[in-house]
Amino acid sequence: MKTYSCFTDSELTTFIHNGDRQAFTELYNRYWEQVLYFAIQKTSDIGVAEDIVQDVFVSLWKRKAELEISSEFKNYLIVSIKYRVLRFLSRERTKRLAEESNMLDYDVLDDSTQQYLDFEELQTTLQEMISKLPERSALIYRMNKEDGMSHRDIAKEMGMSEKAVNASLVRTKKVLRAGLNTFLTGFLL
């Protein structure tokens, strides 16, 4: 029976190439703690580091027939771990960016919904203020703002001068502006 602890890494990889499980176990026992420590330093997550180390060793065993290691075995393991860590970090970055993008989309959606609700509240307040105006002032205001009628057309329709229509609109706008300023000040604070 062979005592594998006395063989070099190079000799053990040759045995592994031929399917020797004991040689594989010896190399695993020699290096798993060192490469695990290295993986933990790079990932800052022991669970992820353990998975990466396990994947590297499983991959080595699966590829044992075509395994050709020209450098030191430890260096080969470190490079393999680095590669897997980079793949892991890349996937995590992609996942984080996707989550941030989704959150940004949600925030924009949420903000637009809030803006719509704020607009609806403002619109309701404006309609309430218009309904409290004297009937004639409210009618002139609605004809101008809602129906898009000019001062001249309103004057003809109401049997008034354009100056009277203009004066009515100026007074109405002042009243509405003052009321909306009060509403907005209370709304924003």
Quote the crossing angle between the two packed helices 21-43 and 46-62, to the nearest 10°.
150
DSSP 133: S
Cβ-proximal residues to 150 (8 Å cutoff; 6+ apart), any chain:
144
DSSP 65: G
For the chain, the first-to-last Cα distance in angstroms comes to 85
pTM higher than 0.85 for the full model? no
Q: Is 144:176 a contact under the CB 8 Å cutoff?
A: no
- The structural domains of the chain, ordered by start, are 4-91 (1.10.1740.10), 133-188 (1.10.10)
- How many angstroms separate the CA atoms of 69 and 75, rounded? 10
Each of the 189 residues of the chain gets a pLDDT tens digit; together they read: 568 888 888 888 889 888 889 989 999 999 999 999 999 998 888 999 999 999 999 988 998 888 777 778 888 888 889 988 888 888 888 888 888 777 665 555 555 666 656 677 777 887 888 888 888 888 888 888 878 888 888 888 888 898 998 999 899 888 888 887 776 676 555
Say which amino acid occupies 17.
H
- How many angstroms separate the CA atoms of 168 and 160, rounded? 11
